[in-house]
Amino acid sequence: MWRDSKNNSRPEKNQINSSRWRLVVAIIFLLLGALIYKLFLLQIRQCDFYTALAASQQQISGQLAPERGQIFFTETVNGQEKLYPVATNKDFALLYAVPKDVIDPADLAEKFYEFFDRPLLEEELKAQGSSTPLIATTTKEKTLADYLKRLDKPGDVYEPLENKKLDKTVLLKLFAFLSSSTSTPLTAEDLEIKGEKVFYKNVGDADNPAQEVRIPGIGFRSEKMRYYPENEIGAHLLGFVSYADNDSQGKYGLEEFFNDELFGQYGSLKSEKGGQSDMLIVNDREYVKPVDGADLVLTIDRNVQFVACEKLQAAVEKHDADGGSVIVMDPKTGALIAMCSVPDFDPNNYKNVADIGDYNNPTLLYQYEPGSVFKVVTMSIAIDQGKVNPATTYYDEGQIMINGWPKPIKNSDFSTHGPHGLVDMNAVLENSLNTGAIFAMRQVGPKVFADYVHNYGFGERTGVELGAESPGNIGNLLGNKVKEIDAATASFGQGIAVTPLQMIMPYQAIANRGILMKPYVVKAIIKNGQREEILPKQVRQVISGKTADTVAAMLVNVVERGHSKRAYIEGYYIGGKTGTAQVAAAGGYSTDNYIHTFIGIAPINEPVFVMLTKIDNPKDVDFAEGSVVPLWKDIADFMLKYYRVPKTRTN
């Protein structure tokens, strides 16, 4: 029985085989399912990934950079326009170090200091009138430490040397300096550049090639970069181009405002690789040509710009001033003929500034209370409304009380002259009387006065194509009800803030028979060989032509008999007005900080230009007549001769 029971519990051989086959089949199905799922992932879900991976192994692709457009100043010779590039592109050598190959980092750092930094330091100390050894020693130690941070890195294979963008001539001088010895002195003329290597010149032949000049641990690569041939001239107009993350971007001025147009469009190249990694299959390549940037042709006259900037720099230095600006404009079109400010900067070496605020264009961005140059605006409003004329009189007591203001408003000469008595409107401008400006404002009323001020463009940006621009501030003249005290102080240029460009515009309108033009600096854009002219734009008629002519004649009297006599130029009728403005300070106005402005029109009978000259905080003169008027005359005298403006005055 036991035997029978045991035999019955043992599985049949066929049953065992059947179970094994089922297991094998199940495993096969699972493997097939996994394989199908993997194929689904590879061919469907991850198709793009592996296609891109294969392409990266079999294709070469990359962006092709366009060439940045140029910017030109202009000059007209015998009726023909000549273009002068002031922002262009040039091949530079970008210096770098391979620290692992540097033999003696301290010695190389010392040589870099001697070549790059010592001459600049000596020049700077000389300009400051200082020869303090301590300053030179401290600066040298810091400079050497900065070099060693990059050169003394064993094992490092690449270190860019900041600010070492070298002209090819300077590069040859550097290699000659680093390679020279007492026994074999070298000069740049002994060397030449081939590709991205330096060789001894006129050495070698077909059998013995020229020997390369090797500086262990130092190399360079060539790259086309932005170059400004005129250095500081026009820096605030142009801005600069910065390079970061393998990309270039315009910063400030025209470079930023027109960055997209100047940059152009990237191209691309995609080509198959051959069996060898450096072999290209040319026939199957995809090539998209880069589109070079557009060129800008400016309204700026090269010669006028040079003279204006040089004379401004000299005037700022002469008067030990904090800074200054010049704007020259064609009154008929609004075209800017010249624009410059001090302090400025060299866009080729834009990082070498003590204050990044130097990048800002003061004629557009910095606001100030203009002072007495604004009285011309006030007078034009009252005359345009028919409330006064040049012969209208009032009695000047030297000071005046305004409702709601606790103390009298005085003329600037009250302490020395006292009352002027019965005077007309010509005398108001000639003697720059605050009480007369208030009188003229009162004839039209604060609200009408404020509306005209706004129509002249104050309180809003002019829209000139130069980037960041301040709207100024006439907030106290806005709204339905304007306080008399706010209108009274504004009538002689206090309590409001304007930019120099805004301040020249009413004079432009007066010189253009009352028509306000939009200021502009780009006269043409050249793209793909096609030139598109930029036409002048009229903003609005602010005052009548008759009013403009009347005010212009009054401005001549200011030059003939008033505070602007030094603007007189023999043979021409010149019109203009000075302003000596106090600088606002906490609790009132500074007693020792003034801004001098003069705006003039020449010649008044057929205006060729209107010009603003401004000097900030001159230390040696108290009034604008002694600082900005002579500056204006120097530039104006050059321009009248340069443009060959005929003399129309015999006395």
In the chain (651 residues long), the average pLDDT of successive 10-residue segments reads: 45 62 74 70 57 49 81 88 94 88 89 85 66 65 87 86 79 89 80 86 64 88 90 94 80 95 84 50 68 94 97 96 97 97 93 88 96 97 97 96 90 92 96 96 97 97 94 93 94 96 98 98 95 96 98 96 92 95 82 93 96 96 93 97 91 75
Any residues with CB less than 8 A from the CB of 5 and at least 6 apart, and which? none
pLDDT, residue 193, reads 87
| Residue 325: inside a domain | yes
Q: In what order do the strands lie in the sheet with 609-616?
A: 336-342, 323-329, 609-616, 588-602, 575-585
Number of domains within the chain: 1
State the Cα–Cα distance between residues 253 and 350, nearest whole angstrom: 13
Any residues with CB less than 8 A from the CB of 228 and at least 6 apart, and which? 86, 87, 88, 235, 238, 240, 346, 347, 348
| Residue 78: inside a domain | no
Contact indicator for 544, 558 with CB cutoff of 8 Å? no
Contact indicator for 161, 173 with CB cutoff of 8 Å? no
Q: Where are the beta strands (DSSP E) in 319-432?
A: 323-329, 336-342, 393-396, 399-400, 409-410, 421-424
| Residue 321: inside a domain | yes
| Residue 141: inside a domain | no
**Alpha-carbon distances of 182 from 104, 178, 179, 185, 638, rounded to whole Å:** 19, 12, 10, 6, 53
pTM of the model: 0.83
Give Cα 185 to chain centroid, integer Å.
43
| Residue 150: inside a domain | no
| Residue 231: inside a domain | no
**Alpha-carbon distances of 271 from 277, 280, 586, rounded to whole Å:** 12, 7, 68
pLDDT, residue 208, reads 63
DSSP string, 204-234: --SSSPPPB---TTEEEEEEEEEE-TTTTTT
Local structure of 108: helix, strand or coil: helix
DSSP string, 457-498: TTTS----SSS-----B-GGG-SS---HHHHHHHHTT-S-BB
φ, ψ of residue 355 in degrees (nearest 5): -140, 125
State the residue range of the domain holding 385: 299-642
Q: Is 6 exposed, middle or buried (0-12, 13-18, 19+ CB in 10 A)?
A: exposed
| Residue 502: inside a domain | yes
Counted residue by residue, the chain has a size of: 651
pLDDT, residue 255, reads 96
The residues with which 159 forms a beta bridge, in sequence order, are: 97
**Alpha-carbon distances of 167 from 95, 194, 224, rounded to whole Å:** 11, 15, 11
For strand 295-301 and strand 71-77, is the pairing parallel, antiparallel, or unpaired?
A: parallel
| Residue 337: inside a domain | yes
CATH number (domain holding residue 578): 3.40.710.10
Q: Where are the beta strands (DSSP E) in 547-608?
A: 575-585, 588-602
